[in-house]
Amino acid sequence: MMSPGTRQGEKVYADLKEAVLSGRYASDTELSIAAIAEDIGASGSPVRDGLHRLYGEGLLQMGPHRGFRVPSWSADALRDCYTWHGHLIRMAIKAIGPKALREPVAPEGWLTDYRSPDRIVATAERMFLTLTNKSSSNELAAAVANTGERLRTIRLFETKRWLDCGDELVSANVLARFEPGSRLLEALWNYHRRRIRAASMLSEALKSRSQS
């Protein structure tokens, strides 16, 4: 059973993580422990601990004076992250094998309101995580989960750039059910390649938001 202090620490961590992943703080924003603690009505210690945990997960960067800041995505860093995520997904699909898949990777995806950017992004994360979980590799699943969280804010910008992000997910579900071999591999690599090629544009869009 958790102590009251541990429960508070977990809640503060969860609230901080949600704030960072939802894009509440613009990229390059320096996070003040005192300001956050006052805002959420907590002491500085659990806030500091939560920020350290997010830094360890790659969701924050070290700022000046040993503080923390929200990461900014350079075009090269974003391109690298998309490429890494794409390779992880290819490894998962090859590990599963076409005969072992043969089912949608996000069964509830058909019912998702694809007009909502948040729902599109959530479905994408769920789809990729479901794929890697089927590979029976805990390391793959952990890597994809972490990379998906790091990409969450930029994926919201994807939905503004392309109106067919929801259609991409539906197509992947269909292929996972009926053609889970080379066709699914090709479709999901095209998904990543599209974003790799647009890394400069997406990076600039994120910078423009942080400056507005």
Residue 27 CA to residue 73 CA, distance in Å, equals 8
Question: In the prediction, which pLDDT does 113 show?
Answer: 61
Q: How many CB atoms lie within 10 A of CB 67?
A: 14
Q: Which domain holds residue 88?
A: 75-211
Contact 98, 135 (CB under 8 A): no
Same domain? For 114 and 201 the reply is yes
User: Residue 48 pLDDT more than 70?
Assistant: yes
pLDDT digits (tens, 9 = 90+) for 81-131: 999 999 999 999 888 876 666 666 665 554 556 678 888 998 899 889 988
Same domain? For 201 and 100 the reply is yes
**For residue 17, what pLDDT band results from cuts at 50, 70 and 90?**
very high
Q: How many domains does the chain have?
A: 2
Report the candidate in 43, 19, 14 with the shortest Cα–Cα distance to residue 31: 19
Tokens of 83: 């490429």
What sections of the chain are H helices per DSSP? Answer: 4-21, 33-40, 44-56, 75-96, 98-101, 117-134, 138-161, 165-178, 182-197, 199-211
Same domain? For 177 and 89 the reply is yes
**For residue 137, what pLDDT band results from cuts at 50, 70 and 90?**
very high
Of the residues 36, 69, 102, the one at which a domain ends: 69
Of the residues 54, 69, 84, the one at which a domain ends: 69
**For residue 7, what pLDDT band results from cuts at 50, 70 and 90?**
confident
- Write the CATH number for 195: 1.20.120
Same domain? For 160 and 206 the reply is yes
Same domain? For 63 and 90 the reply is no
Question: In the prediction, which pLDDT does 103 show?
Answer: 65
* Percent of the chain whose pLDDT exceeds 70: 88
User: Residue 5 pLDDT more than 90?
Assistant: no
Contact 59, 14 (CB under 8 A): no
Among the listed ranges 25-29, 76-80, 155-159, which one has the minimum average pLDDT value?
A: 25-29
Q: Which residue has the higher pLDDT, 187 or 212?
A: 187
Same domain? For 64 and 79 the reply is no
Same domain? For 22 and 51 the reply is yes
User: Residue 189 pLDDT more than 90?
Assistant: yes
pLDDT digits (tens, 9 = 90+) for 52-80: 999 999 999 888 777 899 988 999 999 99
Same domain? For 12 and 115 the reply is no
